[in-house]
Chain A
Amino acid sequence: MIQLQAACPFLASTLTLDEFGAFRSGRALGAPLDLRLMPGTVLGVVGPNGVGKSSLLSALAQAGVQSYGRVRFGEQDLAGMTSRARASVVSMLAQDLHAPEELRVRELVAVGAHASGSATPESTAERALEAAGVSELSGRRFGALSGGQKQLVQIARVLAQDTPVVIFDEPTSALDLFHQRAVEQTMRRLGNDGKIVIAALHDLSLALNACTQILLLDREGDAHAGPPTDVLRPDLVHAAYGVRTAIHTTPRGRRYLSTE
């Protein structure tokens, strides 16, 4: 068992994976994972295309992907919960950002607010839009948004659900630099609020800065978990991606990864 972060008193709200993994086309993806994620963990799931990052995330969220092993939040097995109960534990930003074109942004975000059982879904939605930095989009049609705006609005939907476990599947894939930084800050803030954030990321520099922990999956089915600078070591990154890299630090303390 790889234990991420020192044992803490919030055992009731830890996310525990026992021999857990996802199936794709009837085949198990990678080695079974044993992880314990404490509140405040921001876990970046990284690895080359096709290793099953998205499948793993969907399996964790019980969102239509078959899985083996167990995933528990506190003592509760996520697979055994009703969908309604699970919606107050796990929320998810999917890669698929699509929504009906004529849907208003605030109505989309309200889906998250309703899932959380909010008594005042409208104001919950407005607050979430504000937290995602896009409150000016509230009255817009979804179809009129740019790709990046769609992603931020969907992130707002997840924030409106306000769950202790938040799953982001490539949250910055459509975003410009400024908004990438905003999402990075959102992820860190969620961690500071005591939530467990799990994000599939392609940008390893982002992973270095946004995450407290990294899970690196490679094509051989091996998994490495630990603090960002330990896992994104040049040798492990090379083994996974076949690319030589180095970690640098800017004068102001921000880390980034360069390729050679």
Chain B
Amino acid sequence: MYNIRCVNKQLSRTWLAGLSGLLLLALAAFVSLTLGVVHLTPTQTIQALLRPEDAGITSSAVVWSIRLPRIVVAMLVGSALATVGAVMQAILRNPLAEPGITGVSAGAAVGAVAGITLGLAGSNQWGIPLAAFAGAAIVALVLQTVLRTRRDLGSATIILVGVSISALAGALINLLVANAHDDALVRSALFWLAGDLELRSWEHVLLAAGPILLGLTYLLSRVRALDALALGEQVAATSGISVNRERILLLLVASLVTGAAVAVSGVISFVGLVVPHAVRLVVGASHARLLPISALGGALFLVLADTVARTAFGPVIVQTGVVSALVGAPIFLFLLLRRQPS
């Protein structure tokens, strides 16, 4: 009886977290729609959303062409990065794993910059996301190989590996940018490298939505395998998981999702670290609950971070990635210092 009540309590906690997350997300999105240089009242915003033809050119353009696509991109990217963070933490068995810190996002950025400066973007709209995916996948597989062959190095090693990969990625990006044959290409490469959601359009939504939603659906279907992988290779291998195949598939899909996110937002770090950690405190570490709530929490986190970035600091331009880092970096440091030496 006691145990049944316990299970129910935890289940209802998850539903509560999910529902309140959805409500908060809707509220945050709505508030974000009203804020900005052109200030809209809630009534104007609702009118612009539901009856744009009656709302006046300015408010409907602000809502539909500027703010809404930006918010949707923030939701997609936030849920992508948070979910991928939780997945990487399970596969690499390292609570500090996250696409930004490990250099997977940096790999995606190299791919995307290569795509932009080599002119792939012009020929095919999928050129840049695919190039970003390739970059992310290479880094993810290198990371997994390094961590598997040198298990003796301890869990903080992942940060050093990430630092060296990010340094290498930075060098490659500089090389690509310096040798780009067209200044416009350089500007567009540097533009989103900073991790900003300025001027996102429905085109960006369309570009990111497919790979992110498909990838997240796949990741959500592998929650049992992730539960087992989080217990270690030996346990997973004897619990019905084909460890190598599962890990590589999961990392490839995680790279695809990261690549799509980076292709429309640049490198935004710490979302994948902060959100899953907070979500675990509320709904626990079972992936069946952790992944969907992290996706929701990531969307909420990035919508909030982006709203703060574009409204709170007045004339100073603050990028979304900066706000994310302002929140995330101290938490990262705290987690790092709290860890016992392994």
A64 touches B231 (CB 8 A): no
Instruction: Say which one of B177-185, B209-217, B234-242 lies at the interface with A.
Output: B234-242
A100: chain B residues at CB < 8 Å are: 90, 95, 230, 280, 285
Q: Is A86 engaged at the interface, CB distance under 8 Å to the other chain?
A: yes
- Distance between Cα atoms of A82 and B280 in the complex (Å): 32
Contact B234 A96 (CB under 8 A): yes
Given A122-B7, A126-B3, are A87 and B284 neighbors across the interface (CB < 8 Å)?
no
CB distance from A38 to the nearest CB of B (A): 21
Pick from B90, B224, B234: contact of A58, CB below 8 A. B234
Instruction: Please tell me if the beta carbons of A91 and B238 are within 8 angstroms of each other in the complex.
Output: yes
> Is B80's CB within 8 Å of the partner chain A?
no
User: B residues 245-291 with Cβ under 8 Å of A?
Assistant: 280-281, 284-286
Complex CA distance for A235 and B37, rounded to whole angstroms: 88
Expressed in whole angstroms, the Cα–Cα distance for A167 and B237 within the complex equals: 13
With contacts A102-B284, A138-B6 known, is A107 near B234, CB below 8 A?
A: no
Complex formed: what's the CA distance from A83 to B6 in Å? Answer: 32
* A contact residues around B304 at 8 Å (CB): none
Closest partner residue, chain A, to B228 (CB atom): A111
What 1/0 flags go to A51-66 for Cβ under 8 Å of B?
0000000100111100
Taking CB atoms, residues of chain A closer than 8 Å to B235 are 92, 94, 96, 111, 157
Question: Does A255 have its Cβ within 8 Å of any Cβ on chain B?
Answer: no
| CB–CB B242/A101 < 8 A | no
Q: Which residues of A are found within 8 Å of B296, using beta-carbon distances?
A: none
Q: In the complex, which residues 152-185 of chain B have their Cβ closer than 8 Å to any Cβ of chain A? A: none
Contact yes or no, A90 B238, CB < 8 A:
yes
Q: Identify which of B6, B7, B231 contacts A99 (C-beta below 8 A).
A: B231
With both beta carbons as reference points, the residue of chain A lying nearest to B148 in the complex is identified as A64
Q: A106–B3 contact, CB under 8 A? A: yes
Question: Nearest A residue to B231 by beta-carbon distance?
Answer: A99
Interface flag for A84 (CB, 8 Å) = yes
Of the residues B227, B234, B242, contact of A94 by C-beta under 8 Å: B234
User: Is B47 at the interface (CB under 8 A from chain A)?
Assistant: no
Q: Mark B99-127, 1 if CB is under 8 A from A, else 0.
A: 00000000000000000000000000000
Task: Verify B232–A104 contact, CB threshold 8 A.
Answer: no
Contact pick for A104, options B90, B233, B241, B286, CB 8 Å: B286
Contacts of B281 in A (CB 8 A): 102
Q: 1/0 per residue B185-200: CB within 8 Å of A?
A: 0000000000000000
- B130 contacts partner chain A, Cβ-Cβ < 8 Å: no
**For the complex, is A115 an interface residue (Cβ under 8 Å from B)?**
yes
CB under 8 Å from chain B, chain A span 83-123 = 83-84, 86-87, 90-92, 94, 96, 98-104, 106-108, 111-112, 114-115, 122
Contacts of A91 in B (CB 8 A): 238-239
Contact of A92 with B234 in the complex, beta carbons under 8 Å? yes
Question: Taking the complex as formed, is A16 at the interface, i.e. its CB lies under 8 A from any CB of chain B?
Answer: no
A141 to B234, CA, bound (A): 22
How far is the CB of A160 from the nearest CB of chain B, in Å?
A: 10
Is the Cβ of A114 less than 8 Å from the Cβ of B224? yes
Could you tell me the distance in whole angstroms from the C-beta of A237 to the nearest C-beta in chain B?
A: 29
With contact pairs A83-B241, A115-B228, A138-B3 given, residues A103 and B234 touching in the complex (Cβ less than 8 Å): no
Cβ of B242: which chain A residues have Cβ within 8 Å of it? 82-83
Chain A residues within 8 Å of B237, by CB: 61-64, 83
Nearest chain-A residue to B242 (Cβ)?
Answer: A83
Whether B238 and A61, one on each chain, are in contact in the complex, defined by CB atoms closer than 8 angstroms, is yes
Q: How many angstroms from the CA of A99 to the CA of B231 in the assembled complex? A: 5
Contact (Cβ within 8 A) B6 A87: no
CA distance A94 to B236 in the complex (A): 10
Residues 198-212 of chain A: 1 if any B CB is under 8 Å from the residue's CB, otherwise 0?
Answer: 000000000000000
| Given known contacts A64-B234, A107-B284, A126-B3, A98 and B239 CB-to-CB distance under 8 angstroms | no
Q: With A and B bound together, what is the CA distance between A184 and B237 in angstroms?
A: 25
- A122-B238 Cα distance, complex, nearest whole Å: 20
Q: Which residues 43-84 of B have a CB within 8 angstroms of A?
A: none
At the interface, yes or no: B243 with Cβ under 8 Å from chain A? yes
Per the bound structure, the CA–CA distance linking A122 and B286 in Å amounts to 14
8 Å CB contact of B10 from A87, A104, A142, A161:
A104
B280 touching A102, Cβ below 8 Å? yes
- Cα distance A58–B237 in the bound complex, in angstroms: 10
Q: Which residues of A contact B3 (CB under 8 A)?
A: 106, 122, 126, 138-139
* Cα–Cα distance between A107 and B240 once the two chains are bound (Å): 16
Contact: B285 with A101, CB < 8 Å?
Answer: yes
CB of A206 to closest CB in B, whole Å: 22
Inter-chain CA distance A192–B224, complex, in Å, is: 32
B103 CB → nearest A CB, Å: 23
What are 16 A-B residue pairs whose CB atoms fall within 8 Å in the complex?
A: A58-B234, A63-B233, A63-B234, A91-B238, A92-B235, A98-B231, A99-B231, A101-B280, A101-B285, A102-B285, A106-B3, A107-B227, A107-B284, A108-B231, A111-B231, A114-B227
- What is A's interface to B at a CB cutoff of 8 Å? 58, 61-64, 82-84, 86-87, 90-92, 94, 96, 98-104, 106-108, 111-112, 114-115, 122, 126, 138-139, 141-142, 157, 161, 167
Extra contacts, 13 of them, besides A94-B235, A115-B238, A138-B6 (Cβ < 8 A), are A63-B234, A63-B237, A92-B238, A96-B234, A98-B231, A103-B284, A106-B7, A107-B284, A111-B231, A114-B227, A139-B6, A141-B284, A157-B231
Interface residues of B (CB under 8 A from A): 3, 6-7, 10, 90, 93, 95, 224, 227-228, 230-235, 237-243, 280-281, 284-286
